[in-house]
């Protein structure tokens, strides 16, 4: 059964509209409680508990209240950590023995959207089969005409402090980099309260920008999807580097002193080289997605390291990491998983690890990332009426096959539907930009004619 509610990163949509209307969110809570109760042994005496965290959107508290009401009606206790990064929810779910963790966030989307990310007791996002089972329960409850009831939530600040302590332990503490001039962009999101405390504890007097959330300014011309403001600030201030998080702080992208963007591919290469040199890169393996640049693959090969690709989504990266025993993985978008410390992408942890690597290597961020020769790459999004499987559309299959044949050995094509929006994403990568542009134009024309909204 194909999933209807869950995309690549949970349930997502416009807050207040299906499936994030009050009744459906309440039923999600009821169904999740049922799923948890099914997994418990008959002898379990204590009431299962769930941790809820959220980002700074104005809709996050109402959604959390409706979800909590459903959970409590289903016999599950709720502890609310308030505004906290997604990775904190995953970490604390395991550390404190919660039956599940839930993050209310739409990550990098604008404030009108929101979402529900569910973690199992192991801190992993639910596997596809379990999400499909949860969906069945949700639709069954919706069919029974269940009506929501309210719930009051009180926020417990202790989980945030506990997560901060975890980050400081992972970082190894202050790295003697107090003289560095750093700009930190919190995207007016979940990092807004913790990031300033983290950098202060690490001994860095960072300049913090976009950390005054008002419920509507999350990701608004700031954060990891909108790096122009950070780039200008880094260059104008003569800063050593800058880092930008997204709305739920599960991704981080960096800017070098000259304004150059350092994306997830570069971060993976820097981390892989450092970990391999210190004999910490298990199986000499890095796990990433189909979107990773071919330049990363070539650079790793030169170092005697291997790369494995997965579908887009850090949950799939993690699943492959567990299967293959890898300890480092991530996405070009800035979701980086350091398996020793996390079970999901963690922007704050990534910043800590980069600081640690800079201190150990005694190199600037610009110097560390010089080993990556990036293949030109272009991503084109096309809004679609329906997500018809590409395998059912011969004209599209033929167009992709033609481009793949032309680019054999010199580039590649990736076509996929967005897991969270009505979009088909066409990515072309090749040795030079004219070749990329040529194949993007060809493919866009065909896809627009067949699928365009």
Q: Which residue numbers are catalytic?
A: 107
Contact 26, 148 (CB under 8 A): yes
User: What is the CA angle 5-9-12, rounded to 5?
Assistant: 50
Quick one: 401 exposed, middle or buried, by C-beta within 10 A (0-12, 13-18, 19+)? exposed
**Rounded to an integer, what distance in angstroms lies between the CA atom of residue 172 and that of residue 175?**
7
C-alpha neighbours within 13 Å on the C-beta side of residue 311: 12
State how far Cα 362 lies from the chain centre.
29
**Rounded to an integer, what distance in angstroms lies between the CA atom of residue 396 and that of residue 383?**
15
Buried b (16+ CB within 10 A) or exposed e, 76-99: bebbbbbbbbbbbbbbbbbeeebb
Contact 252, 333 (CB under 8 A): no
Contact 307, 296 (CB under 8 A): yes
**Rounded to an integer, what distance in angstroms lies between the CA atom of residue 389 and that of residue 349?**
37
């Amino acid at each position: 059964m194909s999933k209807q509610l869950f995309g690549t990163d949970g349930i997502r949509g416009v807050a207040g509209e299906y499936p994030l209307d009050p009744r459906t969110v309440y039923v999600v809570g009821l169904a999740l409680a049922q799923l948890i109760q099914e997994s418990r042994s008959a002898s379990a005496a204590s009431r299962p508990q769930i941790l809820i965290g959220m980002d700074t959107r104005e809709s996050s508290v109402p959604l959390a209240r409706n979800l909590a009401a459903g959970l409590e009606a289903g016999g599950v206790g709720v502890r609310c950590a308030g505004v906290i990064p997604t990775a904190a929810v995953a970490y604390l779910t395991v550390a404190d023995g919660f039956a599940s963790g839930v993050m209310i966030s739409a990550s990098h989307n604008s404030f009108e959207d929101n979402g529900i990310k569910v973690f199992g007791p192991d801190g992993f996002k639910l596997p596809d089969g379990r999400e499909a089972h949860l969906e069945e329960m949700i639709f069954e409850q919706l069919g029974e005409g269940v009506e929501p009831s309210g719930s009051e939530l009180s926020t417990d600040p202790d989980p945030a402090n506990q997560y901060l302590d975890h980050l400081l332990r992972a970082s190894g503490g202050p790295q003697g980099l107090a003289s560095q001039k750093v700009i930190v962009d919190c995207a007016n999101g979940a990092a807004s309260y913790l990031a300033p405390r983290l950098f202060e504890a690490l001994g860095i007097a960072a300049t913090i920008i976009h950390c005054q959330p008002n419920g509507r300014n999350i990701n608004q011309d700031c954060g990891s999807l909108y790096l122009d403001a950070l780039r200008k600030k880094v260059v104008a201030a003569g800063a050593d580097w800058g880092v930008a998080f997204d709305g739920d702080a599960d991704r981080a992208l960096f800017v070098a002193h000259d304004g150059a963007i350092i994306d997830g591919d570069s971060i993976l290469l820097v981390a892989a080289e450092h970990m391999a040199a210190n004999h910490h890169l298990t199986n000499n393996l890095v796990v990433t997605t189909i979107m990773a640049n071919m330049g990363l693959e070539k650079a790793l090969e030169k170092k005697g390291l291997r790369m494995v690709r997965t579908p887009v989504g850090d949950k799939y990266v993690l699943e492959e990491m567990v299967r293959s025993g890898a300890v480092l993985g991530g996405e070009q978008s800035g979701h980086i998983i350091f398996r020793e410390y996390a079970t999901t992408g963690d922007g704050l942890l990534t910043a800590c690890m980069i600081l640690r690597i800079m201190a150990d290597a005694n190199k600037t961020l610009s110097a560390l990332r010089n080993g990556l020769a990036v293949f030109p790459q272009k991503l084109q999004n096309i809004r679609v009426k329906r997500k018809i499987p590409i395998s059912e559309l011969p004209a599209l299959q033929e167009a992709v096959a033609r481009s793949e044949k032309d680019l054999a050995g010199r580039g590649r094509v990736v076509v996929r539907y967005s897991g969270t929006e009505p979009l088909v994403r066409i990515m072309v990568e090749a040795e030079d930009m004219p070749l990329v542009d040529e194949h993007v134009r060809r493919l866009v024309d065909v896809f627009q004619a067949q699928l365009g909204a």
